[in-house]
Amino acid sequence: MNRIIQKEQFSEKVVKLVVEAPEVAKARKPGHFVIVRCGSGGERIPLTIADADVAVGTVTLVVQNVGVSTAKICALEVGDSLTDLVGPLGRATDIGRRDGTVVCCGGGVGVAPLLPIIKAFKEAGNRVVSILAARNSQLIILEDEVRRYSDELIVMTDDGSAGAKGLVTDGLRRVLDGGDVAEVVAIGPAIMMKFVALLTKEYGIPTVCSLNTIMVDGTGMCGACRVNVGGRMRFVCVDGPEFDAHQVDFDEMMMRMKAYDAQK
More confident residue, 262 or 152: 152
Q: Cβ(101)–Cβ(131) under 8 Å? A: no
pTM score of the predicted model: 0.87
* pLDDT confidence of residue 41: 78
More confident residue, 66 or 115: 115
Positions of CATH 2.40.30.10 in the chain = 2-89
pLDDT-above-70 percentage for the chain:
96
* pLDDT confidence of residue 263: 43
* pLDDT confidence of residue 236: 85
Render pLDDT for 215-234 as a digit per residue (tens, 0 to 9).
Answer: 776 666 777 778 889 989 98
* pLDDT confidence of residue 214: 75
Topology of domain 2-89, CATH: Elongation Factor Tu (Ef-tu); domain 3 (2.40.30)
Helices (H), 56-167: 68-75, 111-123, 143-148
Q: Over 70: is that where the pLDDT of 262 sits? A: no
Q: Cβ(98)–Cβ(183) under 8 Å? A: yes
Q: Over 90: is that where the pLDDT of 57 sits? A: yes
Q: Report the alpha-carbon distance of residue 197 to residue 204 in Å, rounded.
A: 10
Q: Over 70: is that where the pLDDT of 253 sits? A: yes
Q: Over 50: is that where the pLDDT of 191 sits? A: yes
235 φ, ψ (degrees, to nearest 5): -110, 120
Mean pLDDT, rounded, for 173-181: 92
Q: Over 50: is that where the pLDDT of 264 sits? A: no
Which residues pair with residue 86 across a beta bridge? 35
19 φ, ψ (degrees, to nearest 5): -125, 140
Confidence bin at 157 (pLDDT 50/70/90): very high
Nearest to 47, CA basis, from 83, 80, 87:
87
Q: Report the alpha-carbon distance of residue 58 to residue 17 in Å, rounded.
A: 10
Q: Report the alpha-carbon distance of residue 260 to residue 264 in Å, rounded.
A: 7
CATH number of 101-262: 3.40.50.80
Mean pLDDT, rounded, for 114-140: 93
Positions of CATH 3.40.50.80 in the chain = 101-262
Which residues pair with residue 181 across a beta bridge? 101
Q: Cβ(90)–Cβ(171) under 8 Å? A: no
* pLDDT confidence of residue 261: 53
* pLDDT confidence of residue 218: 67
Q: Over 80: is that where the pLDDT of 170 sits? A: yes
Helices (H), 130-227: 143-148, 168-177, 190-203
More confident residue, 213 or 87: 87
* pLDDT confidence of residue 239: 84
- Taking 3-state DSSP, the helix, strand and coil percentages for the chain, each rounded to the nearest 5, stand at 35, 35, 35
